[in-house]
Amino acid sequence: MVDSWIERLGLQAHPEGGWYRETYRATDLLPVEGLPARFSGPRAASTAIYYLLEAGQFSALHRIRSDEVWHFYDGDPLDIHGIDDDGNHLHWRLGRSGESVLPQAVVPAGVWFGARCIEGGVFALCGCTVAPGFDFADFEMADRAQLLARFPQHRTLIETLTRDIPGSLTECE
């Protein structure tokens, strides 16, 4: 089933882990003067992607400057974990059914977040919608050591959802 989704949707490897394909980028551009100061230039009004995770893969902790709406499409439930600036652990479980399972969740701008299939899950196919639209200038991959220093109370989560690549806390170009 996973291979058929990857082929059918034309997915490619994502830098944070898993598979993706951009499916929408608004042609309307929001001027930098109309955006919050955290944006360095104009942005598409909205963007959308397909995103697929397989068992054993994870979306590494990262953050963006926009809100990101996750939509569940197929497969097994997916856990999204976040850490906000105050050090609070945020958790959303996406799926079709079950207690505390939602078909959609919003990760607020600036929250460090990552995702993985639930234990025993085979795959999760989701969609992500970002507004203002996604731009790699707004994307930061977490540095494990720096996050551990800032949020030591979340050691297990950070070690589980990061790759040990020093110096990756800065913006990706």
pLDDT of residue 127: 98
State pLDDT tens for residues 62-113: 999 999 999 999 999 999 999 999 999 999 999 998 889 999 999 999 999 9
Rg (CA), the chain: 16
pLDDT of residue 166: 54
Q: What does pTM read for this prediction?
A: 0.92
> Which CATH class for the 2-29+42-160 domain?
mainly beta
Sign of CA dihedral 24, 54, 68, 39: negative
> E strands along the chain, which residues?
12-13, 19-25, 29-30, 43-44, 47-54, 58-63, 67-75, 78-83, 89-94, 101-102, 104-107, 112-117, 123-131, 140-141
pLDDT of residue 164: 75
Q: Where are the domains of the chain?
A: 2-29+42-160
pLDDT of residue 97: 86
State pLDDT tens for residues 50-59: 999 999 999 9
State pLDDT tens for residues 8-39: 999 999 989 999 999 999 999 999 999 999 99
What is the percent of the chain with per-residue pLDDT over 90, rounded to a whole number?
A: 90
pLDDT of residue 165: 62
> Where do the H-state alpha helices sit in 29-150?
144-150
State pLDDT tens for residues 99-155: 899 999 999 999 999 999 999 999 999 999 999 999 999 999 999 999 999 999 999
